[in-house]
Amino acid sequence: MSKKASKGTFRRILGYLKASMPLILLTLLLSVVTVVSTLYVPVLVGDAIDCILESGVNFELLADKLIGICVCVGITAASQWLMSVLNNAITYNTVRRVREDAFRKIQVLPFSTIDNHSHGDISGRVIADVDVFADGLLLGFTQLFTGVVTIVGTIVFMFAINWMIAIAVTVITPLSLFVAKFIASKTYSFFSVQSRTRGEQTAFIDEMIGNLKVVKAFSREEKNQEIFDEVNGRLKDCSLKAIFFSSLTNPSTRFVNSLVYALVALLGAIFAMMSGGEAFRIGSVTLSAFTVGGLTKFLAYATQYTKPFNEISGVVTEFQNALACGERIFELIDMPAEVSDAGNKELPPAKGEISLKNVSFSYDKSKTLIEGLSLCVTPGKRVAIVGPTGCGKTTLINLLMRFYDVDGGSISVDGQDIRSVTRKSLRENYGMVLQETWLKSGTVHENIAMGKPRATRQEVVEAAKAAHAHSFIMRLSNGYDTVIGEDGGSLSQGQKQLLCITRIMLSLPPMLILDEATSSIDTRTEIKIQEDFTRLMLGRTSFIVAHRLSTIRNADVILVMKDGKVIEQGDHNELLAKGGFYSELYNSQFALS
């Protein structure tokens, strides 16, 4: 499976590289220039040595050789620099496209997928795994192209000098690649475990930082340290195994290549002595003259020839790590997206008629949550939803917003099945205030204007005044331009919720969903906001989820849910008169108060 996975990942990488093909071809051309200029230097050096042996040190005769060496070195330096620039461009353009695809996929993943994966693991794939992937890709481009061209070029030069020694070198050296391949095949699984464990560690750290107050409140520091140490220990173990086996590659290939160098030196020295500067015979084979300068060239080429094998073996090791990380990235990109909106109609500003027909849904398909739920809400009605924890109140909100699609039945708005309209147009018709606040890192103004980006400053201020948030905003360091951190930063929970209420006051959508919208606000402010909500809900279809039943007395319809079903329905007085489940809930709260 790992071989199939690595081959599939490699093919995906090649697919991403197609867009950079012009740069890759130019890099390949520069590799040829670099190798040719590098390999021509030993020719000039060898000729200079032969010149010295024949005529002594004569700088007039050596001048051309020295100038040629300087020119070759200059060309090599310039082409290597330009090739490095192109390699960086290829790598980071490819990484940018991979990250774009990964981020684009995150935005269309079903909520069920997001809920079933830790957020730290997902962000770790897009950030840490892509960084490792980029390092392996860059190293591959830097070493692979030049290495392959160097091997080909040195073979040509060696055969031109002495084909017999060249054959011996080319037959023995590939053994280093077989050694590298054997070791690399063993390290892939270790790098895969390392990548998964690193994602697990990232997820745990992300969760702990996000819930640090809870950790400290329950004195879980020592327990969390134990969990972290266990994960960190496993990461250390698998990393050491991966590094240990991968570190065997380079010494093994260097050992084989050192044998090659020793063989070249031995054979070259023998041939140089046998030649004496003239052609000579070995059996029936006639060989051209082999001088000391020729031996110098050959030794230089033997070094140049074996060097790429050492570098490529290192690239293979790093590329195994990159492939393991790439597999996790592409696994994210390949996750099934939510059902596409392609071809769906735009929902115009809604009148607010909502109908649920025989709706059934459950998060865990083996356990029933909502089953056979039917409901018809006429435009402008205020619908309150009450019931014990886990009865399906929040789930119903998720279905109305189409965060999840129903398993059976249908939900329609103004006679249109919400699965036939685009999610964007559906959600634009709703204004939501939840118990859980939705705030991003940015200014107070930006957070309020999220639902109406083109709103003027005056409109934002008026909305804040209507939500009774203006006074506390003006007490902030920079008023509406105060930058708040992730999830509201240091603002109190009540202040965060006031900003979310202000957002709704600004956008004034045709339908409202209020899920414990005032649960974190002081009683005095809550009374004022309830009055504002009453005015806001006039003429708007509104769904109100509340545990404090005193806040929903004026609802037109109260739905009492239990075990995923509506067991009672009516206004406050009607339900109290029935003396049923709602009456028990209300009276129990009244008794507690």
Residue 282's pLDDT band (boundaries 50, 70, 90)? low
Q: Any idea which of 15-19, 39-43, 54-58, 147-151 has the lowest mean pLDDT? A: 54-58
Based on the domain organization, do 58 and 146 belong to the same domain?
yes
Residues 265 and 171 in one domain: yes
- Spatial separation of the C-alpha atoms in residues 285 and 280, rounded to whole Å: 9
As for how many domains the chain has, the answer is: 2
pLDDT at 554: 79
For the cut 90, the answer to whether the pLDDT of residue 135 exceeds it is: no
Say whether pLDDT at 126 is over 80.
Answer: yes
Residue in 129, 117, 127, 102 with CA at minimum distance from that of residue 207: 117
- Does residue 225 share a domain with residue 359? no
Q: Is residue 459 part of a domain?
A: no
**Are residues 358 and 329 located together in one domain of the fold?**
no
CATH number of residue 71's parent domain: 1.20.1560.10
In a shared domain, residues 238 and 363: no
Mean pLDDT across 275-282: 57
For residues 439-467, give the mean pLDDT. Answer: 88
The pTM (predicted TM-score) of the whole model is 0.68
Cα-Cα-Cα-Cα torsion 220, 225, 231, 234, nearest 10 degrees, comes to: -150
Exposed / middle / buried, residue 562 (Cβ in 10 Å: 0-12, 13-18, 19+): middle
How does pLDDT run across 464-481, given as a tens digit for each residue?
Answer: 988 888 998 999 989 999
Q: Is the pLDDT of residue 364 over 60?
A: yes
Q: Would you state the pLDDT for residue 120?
A: 77
36 and 118 assigned to the same domain = yes
**β-pairing, 416-417 with 408-413?**
antiparallel
- Identify the pLDDT of residue 114: 82
Same domain, 115 and 187: yes
Tell me whether residue 342 is in a domain: no
**Any domain includes 483:** no
Q: Give the domain-ending residue among 302, 333, 364.
A: 333
More confident residue, 182 or 592: 182
pLDDT tens column, 207-265? 777 677 667 766 778 888 888 899 888 888 888 887 777 777 767 777 777 777 777 77
Q: Quick one: three-class SS letters along 425-492?
A: HHHHCEEEECCCCCCCCEEHHHHHHHHCCCCCHHHHHHHHHHCCCHHHHHCCCCHHHCEECHHHCCCC
- Whole domain around residue 390: which residue ranges? 354-429+509-592
pLDDT given for residue 346 in this prediction: 92
Could you tell me if 192 and 301 lie in one domain?
A: yes
Identify the pLDDT of residue 1: 38
Q: Do 86 and 27 touch, CB atoms closer than 8 A?
A: yes
What pLDDT is attached to residue 137? 74
Residue 245 belongs to some domain of the structure? yes
Buried b / exposed e over 176-190, threshold 16 CB at 10 Å, is beebbeebbeebbbb
488 within a domain of the structure (yes/no): no
493-544 pLDDT per residue, tens: 778 888 888 888 888 888 988 887 666 667 777 777 777 777 778 888 988 8
Residue for token digits 């475990």?
A: 193
Residue 343, in any domain of the structure:
no
Q: Are residues 381 and 317 in the same domain?
A: no
**What spatial distance separates the first Cα and last Cα of the chain, rounded to whole Å?**
63
Where among 333, 363, 397 does a domain terminate? 333
Of the given ranges (301-305, 449-453, 479-483), which has the lowest mean pLDDT? 301-305
Instruction: Specify whether 99 is located in the same domain as 173.
Output: yes
**Domain membership flag for residue 455:** no
pLDDT for 41 equals: 82
Instruction: Mark whether 327 and 359 lie in a shared domain.
Output: no
Has residue 106 been placed in a domain? yes
Same domain, 319 and 365: no
pLDDT digits (tens, 9 = 90+) for 390-443: 777 888 888 998 988 999 999 999 999 999 999 989 988 988 887 777 788 889
CATH number at residue 525: 3.40.50.300
Report the mean per-residue pLDDT for the chain: 80
